[in-house]
Structure 1
Amino acid sequence: MKKRDSLYFNQLQDYYAENGILPSFSGIASLVGLKTTSAVSAMVDRLKEAGFLVSMPDKRLAPGPRFYERKQLLEYVPAGIPQDMVNVGSDHILIDRFLVKEPSITMIITIKGDSMLNAGLLDGDKIIVERGTTSKVGEIVVAIVDGEFTVKFLAKDKQGYYLKPGNAAFADIRAKDELQIFGVVTGSFRLY
């Protein structure tokens, strides 16, 4: 993608984030400052070819498969002692593909409470939950205990399976009647 196309594309992403729709060709010209429809058409064609935009059956533009890619410029940022940065160039990550392996069985659920604090899950965090996958002892699961939902570590002892919180201020949970695993937590994120 040309450097100028990259700047135009960034403006289109911001416009889409604010409006939930991409502008018309004349709207794109106005947004990015192009003077002719042929220049807009050529730029849109390049963005389509790169997979950032697609045309819908009614000719409207829509986000393409690469529309939500985000640049990964650094390999990591140390949270401890400062170190030299390792630049990975301009790799791109699709956040959805990074977090979601199978969309048909994956959902996002909001955490409420602080019983998983020491597991790094805070009140208001979003967890990625895969339904229908086999859960293992030690994994974080969304469970249904006697008809009520909770998120905890799956644990097992001589008495059988139970749920262990990620906060010592909370007690282990054992089902009186039934313990079902709703899904396995595969990731999480939060907005600051």
Structure 2
Amino acid sequence: MVNKDPFYLGRLQDYYALHRLIPSYAEIAALVGVSKQGAVKFIDRMIFAGYISKGPGGRLSPANMFFARPHVGVAPAGFASPATEALGDAITIDDYLVENPSSTVLVEVRGDSMIDAGIHHSDFLIVERNTNPNIGKIVVAIVDGDFTIKYLRSDQKGLFLEPANAEYPNIYPESSLDIYGEVVGQFRKF
């Protein structure tokens, strides 16, 4: 007998992505093509596996694992290797990129001053609020009242911000330099 739970879960995840809610048991039954009792059993398995949680009044909601994506292996960016899909653990993007949820924010990039660091216009940066990052880290800074994303550097004059694009100059603060946070990750949609 083939385990159809991954297929059913995928249908439920797609539904959630579209509607931002977990449907009723009857709607789940119709969505995945099982009886209402089959839907109840499927949801019980998903609750046990950590994909779904049941709140007050029996309301279903996604649990942390609901947002996990399968880690299916690695793909060399150099020479090609035989293609095999090695099913690995599932991970959530938060588990991978966010160490401190209460102090982590997303910042959308505008401009190209960090292009040589691989940070492009419209990318999203995962920024951990940290007002004292190490020199050399990429930071979101408030320099003379304006936000910017640059490398944090230091020289004999003190702290300054360095772009990753030769067409932009270093930024030395005229009156103030506050660090909003340290860039710990990024993502973009192709």
Give the Cα separation in 2 of the matches to 1:115 and 1:140. Answer: 12
How do 1:59-98 and structure 2 match up within 5 A? 59-74=58-73, 76-84=74-82, 88-98=86-96
After TM superposition, the runs of 4+ consecutive aligned structure 1 residues lying more than 4 A away are 85-88
1:8 aligns with 2:8: yes
Amino acid at match of 2:38: A
Amino acid at match of 1:50: A
Question: How far apart are residue 40 of structure 1 and its match?
Answer: 1.4
1:175 aligns with 2:173: yes
Q: Deviations over 1:31-54 (max 9, x none)?
A: 11112x222111110110000001
Amino acid at match of 1:44: I
SS of aligned partner of 2:134: coil
Give the Cα separation in 2 of the matches to 1:24 and 1:85. Answer: 39
How do 1:27-66 and structure 2 match up within 5 A? 27-35=27-35, 37-66=36-65
Give the Cα separation in 2 of the matches to 1:121 and 1:78. Answer: 22
Q: Deviations over 1:104-163 (max 9, x none)?
A: 000000000000000000000000001135311110000010111100000111111100
SS of aligned partner of 2:89: strand
Q: CA RMSD in A?
A: 1.4
Give the Cα separation in 2 of the matches to 1:137 and 1:15. Answer: 45
**TM-score after normalising by structure 2:** 0.95
Q: Match of 1:101?
A: 99
Q: Match of 1:160?
A: 158
Amino acid at match of 1:164: E
Q: Match of 1:19?
A: 19
Give 1 or 2: higher strand fraction. 1
Give the Cα separation in 1 of the matches to 2:23 and 2:131. Answer: 41
Mark the runs of 5 or more structure 2 residues left unpaired by the alignment.
Answer: none
**TM-score after normalising by structure 1:** 0.94
User: 2:131–2:179: 8 Å Cα contact kept in structure 1?
Assistant: no
Question: How far apart are residue 7 of structure 1 and its match?
Answer: 1.0
Give the Cα separation in 1 of the matches to 2:79 and 2:88. Answer: 25
Amino acid at match of 2:66: F
Q: Deviations over 1:7-40 (max 9, x none)?
A: 11110000000111111000011111112x2221
Give the Cα separation in 2 of the matches to 1:8 and 1:31. Answer: 8
Question: How far apart are residue 5 of structure 1 and its match?
Answer: 1.2
SS of aligned partner of 1:48: helix
Give the Cα separation in 2 of the matches to 1:9 and 1:41. Answer: 13
